[in-house]
Amino acid sequence: MDSMASAKDRSLPKSSLLQKVTPLEGRRFVVVSNRAPFAHVRDGAGVTVEKPPSGLTLALEPMMQATQGTWIANASGNADHEFVDERGHVRQTEEIGYHLRRLFLPPRLTEDFYTGFSNSALWPLCHIAYHQPRFEERWWRAYVRANGLFAEAVADEIGEDPAVVFVQDFQLALLPAMIRERRPQALIAQFWHIPWPNPEAFRVCPWRRELLHGLLGNDLLGFHLLYHCNNFLDTVDRELQVRVERESHGVMAQDRLTTVAAFPLSVDYARIHRRVQQPDAREAAARLRRQRAQNRKLVLSVERMDYTKGILERIGAIHRLFDRHPELKETVSFVHIATPSRTGVRAYRDYTAAVDRAILRVNTAHGRPDWQPVQAIHQYVEPEKIWNWYHAADAVVVSSLHDGMNLVSKEYVAAGRDDGVLFLSEFTGASRELREAVFINPYATDAFADAMAAGLAMPEAERRERMRRLRLRVANADVGAWVHDILRAIHQREFDAQNALFTPRARARGWKGPAAVRAGGGDLEAAAAPGPARAGSY
Ligand code: F6P
């Protein structure tokens, strides 16, 4: 069996803000997500530990290591059950530095909750990528049931402990209110990793109010962008009889406050950057270049095979590039790594077939006996190998039609060469930060093709200067900053809750404050201690 994880390699970079993560008023830290950070998979050769193609899980691992918390997630490996105790806790996790509790949702329930409601209703609903969401009652019931099972696991895990529970993403929108009902002492936060659409788009969901009530069980609700926060507040305002406080970005519902704030997710810049400088990684990158590009330019794309990633639009633009700039033939090779994803959803299977056909078309139209414009790798590639690919590439293209953030672009900035070029869709959250990228509109095929031609011809000095600035941006706002800002905001909510204890109304009700108050802490002076979260975050 593979080692659980190369824990030494993951040791936190000295400069990381994660070093400064403070204990959360003595509370336990519990993360809940549908997708688990790793799975035990058995095949003919034995059992291996596999990591999913999920930016979410990669981003959260440093947070888990810093807080030494417990992660609760749905099992996904065929050998997962062999490595857990009777409560689902994975044994021997010392090496990875946090605990994982696996939930074993029945396969039929997973099908309706995950493939059905999560990925066929909520995913297209929130990504405005011209793909119609489907709302089946059976899927909705499964979604409620699956969220309920997660709530039971959280309640069992934390018992009466005054824990912080940090819920992840759109698969678990009902969970916060369900946890609050069972464990009122918990401090609950959630991060929504995908876009939040405008109220007009969201109102087609028949269970929109239930979803909103579920989310308002949170003390803190985070999105990547202020734009998504505003869309959420507008939606709540439109759909529910609650008080929306525009200035403080809060929603008061049944005397409880949910604070809504933006926390742009990022990557572990120092770790990735350091890793690709190692001699073995450099050698691997050079090998990839030799094998895949020979003496041509190598342009790379990396994503899950998903229609929101604009893969068809990109292949269309590559086709157009060689139509409009035939002199570029044989000078550049496009490599496209798309990990199979959500294959239970019909739209994803159809999309894969359409991508295969589009690649065949461009290769047939423009290929030469010893050169194919597009080389496709449709399989899972481990994160560290992907970093070597980035280092091998002359450029990376991110062509999402709509993306909450897009961590591929930030990983490329961390791992790529000093003279690399980033082509970035203007419809990604990352485009708000990575201003030195070459922006493309994946819907505008001709302009997209011309932007690629111009980017490939960019003088070296300009490429280097753009990359230098991009690196500074990502290094200054790495995943450590994200974790730090979220934990700090959670901290503030803790003190807000404690302050509520001192109001005459709360006293009259005999309301018991959270952990620190019960433990004798929570004086007003301490409550005033943390300053506002990073400027612009709220
Ligand atoms: O980042 C959005 C997201 O849907 C995560 O919730 C998820 O883990 C990741 O993409 C990959 O998707 P999945 O878990 O469905 O394979």
pLDDT in tens, 277-328: 999 999 999 999 999 998 899 999 999 999 999 999 999 999 999 999 999 9
- Residue having the nearest C-alpha atom to atom 14 of ligand 1: 35
CB contact at 8 A, 97 and 7: yes
pTM (predicted TM-score): 0.89
Residue 133 and residue 126: Cα distance in Å, rounded? 9
Tell me if residue 73 falls in helix, strand or coil: strand
User: CA nearest 293: which of 206, 371, 369?
Assistant: 371
Question: 269-476: CATH homologous superfamily?
Answer: Glycogen Phosphorylase B; (3.40.50.2000)
C-beta of 306 in contact with ligand 1 (< 6 A): no
C-beta of 169 in contact with ligand 1 (< 6 A): yes
Q: What is the DSSP string of 129-189?
A: SS------HHHHHHHHHHHHHHHHHHHHHHTT---EEEEESGGGSSHHHHHHHH-TT-EEE
CB contact at 8 A, 145 and 182: no
Q: What string of pLDDT tens digits covers the 538 residues of the chain?
A: 333 433 334 444 433 444 455 556 678 899 999 999 999 999 999 999 999 998 899 889 888 988 889 999 999 999 999 999 999 999 977 788 899 999 999 999 999 999 999 999 999 999 988 899 999 999 999 999 999 999 999 999 999 999 999 999 999 999 999 999 999 999 999 999 999 999 999 999 999 999 999 999 999 999 999 999 999 999 999 999 999 999 889 999 988 999 999 999 999 999 999 999 999 999 999 999 999 998 899 999 999 999 999 999 999 999 999 999 999 999 999 999 999 999 999 999 999 999 999 999 999 999 999 999 999 999 999 999 999 999 999 999 999 999 999 999 999 999 999 999 999 999 999 999 999 999 999 999 999 999 999 999 999 999 999 999 999 999 999 998 998 899 889 888 877 766 666 666 656 655 454 443 333 222 222 222 233 222 222 2
Q: Which atom of ligand 1 is nearest to the CA of 169?
A: 6
C-beta of 55 in contact with ligand 1 (< 6 A): yes
Residue 251 Cα to ligand 1 middle (Å): 27
Residue 224 and residue 237: Cα distance in Å, rounded? 20
Sequence ranges of the domains in the chain: 269-476
Residue 281 and residue 385: Cα distance in Å, rounded? 8
Whole-number pLDDT of residue 63: 86
Q: Which atom of ligand 1 is nearest to the CA of 304?
A: 11
Among 50, 119, 193, name the best residue to mutate to test ligand 1's pocket (greatest count of ligand atoms within 8 A of Cβ).
Answer: 193
Count of residues for the chain? 538
Q: Which atom of ligand 1 is nearest to the CA of 341?
A: 16
Whole-number pLDDT of residue 503: 66
* Count of C-beta atoms within a 10 Å radius of residue 65: 19
Among 38, 51, 56, 192, name the best residue to mutate to test ligand 1's pocket (greatest count of ligand atoms within 8 A of Cβ).
Answer: 56
Residues 482-513 as b or e (16 or more Cβ within 10 Å = b): bbbbbbbbbbbbbbebbbbbeeeebeeeeeeb
H or E segment at 314? helix 311-324
Whole-number pLDDT of residue 537: 23
Whole-number pLDDT of residue 518: 32
Whole-number pLDDT of residue 497: 67
C-beta of 32 in contact with ligand 1 (< 6 A): no
